[in-house]
Amino acid sequence: MVEESAGVAQPAIRAAEFFAGIGLVRQALEPLGVQVVWANDIERAKRDAYAANHDASHFELADIRSVSASHLPRRIELATSSFPCVDLSLAGNRLGLVGSQSGMFWQFARILEELGEQRPRIVFLENVRGFATSHGGQDLADALTRLSQLGYSCDVFTVDARHFVPQSRPRMFIVGIRGALPVGAKAEVPPLSTVRPAWVQRVHARHQNLGMHYLPLPDLPEGPQDLSSVVEQMDSSDPRWWDHDKTAALVDSLSPVQTARMEALRGGPALSWRTAYRRTRNGVAVWELRRDAIGGCLRTTGGGSSKQALVELGRGEVRVRWMTPLEYARLMGAGSYKLTGGTPNQALFGFGDAVVVDVVRWIGQHYLLPALHWQRQPQAA
């Protein structure tokens, strides 16, 4: 694989994809000239989905605790790590980096250390924004300190996927760079922007002793305002629509404000869509309809309360069903992904636990690729 840059053919950027899941990081970066030469995950169902869409000959299906640096091929320039968020999420147990799942960050750092001078020039980490507040910010401080010890100057920023797809999915990203920083990078606290709001500023200010930097990024696009590009059209007689009793139970559990909102949409002349989650309020299970017309943050399916329902309203009707794997795929910017093998819930789990393709591709275009190409220049050696 060779990419073109200013009319000159360049070797593809060699990357390792840690916690690869179903391979959406690869889906995002491969068209930019990144070649994933090694990937790892522990979940067989995710590996199978990965293999249905990518060459998986390099995929190591294993617990990362059993992986050593010797397993990786040489000359890796970029390592990506979407390590588990369960212990960091506000919806999780908040055990932080001592938790059995989010604590896998330390295994990623261990492998980087084992690589020694062969460790990649750039690391790219993705996780929930709760990482920044876990244990009062100490977990993020510990992670940034460890990356600094490994020779990386780090940048922290945030992107909400709603700027690219109709899904509210705010995530935090860390880019660590070894060696020369790319042109335009500044070793100071960044100004306020959509990708570096006040809380990101505070992270940078608190950790300037670690030699952090920031790279200016362009404004984010506005993003779609409704679910019309996502909804899988199906006839009103399709058995996936809920029956009268189940639909009535959802409607009856709505608050008066949400009921009024739903009735206004139901009386409209055209079809519109809202998403809904089941919540527990004061010990009672209720449904909550999103105020806006985009999807809520997709989650890893572990039961009914973690699955997102689609509510179709208009022309005097209200219909409800679970969102489909195809709709999940579209909300993750992966509508062309092959949904072969496995159960529908496994597909929902894989997408709910993944990155949004459009977000990672935007970061690749505006940050990772410029930085990686800068690293290849003689003055960066």
pLDDT in tens, 318-361: 999 999 999 999 999 999 999 877 788 888 989 988 999 999 99
Strand partners, 176: 123, 154
pTM of this prediction?
0.92
For 56-92, write each residue's pLDDT tens digit.
Answer: 999 999 999 999 999 999 999 999 998 765 545 545 4
Homologous superfamily, domain 2-223+355-380 = Vaccinia Virus protein VP39 (3.40.50.150)
CB count, 10 Å around CB of 17? 28
Note the pLDDT of residue 96. Answer: 53
Instruction: Tally DSSP H helices, then E strands, for the chain.
Output: 11, 13
Averaged confidence pLDDT in the chain: 90
β-bridge partners, 272: 313
What is the residue extent of each domain of the chain?
A: 2-223+355-380, 244-350
Is 190 within 8 Å of 196 (Cβ atoms)? yes
The mean pLDDT of 287-298, rounded to a whole number, is 93
| Phi–psi pair at 234, nearest 5 degrees | -150, 150
Residues 220-249, mean pLDDT to the nearest whole number: 96
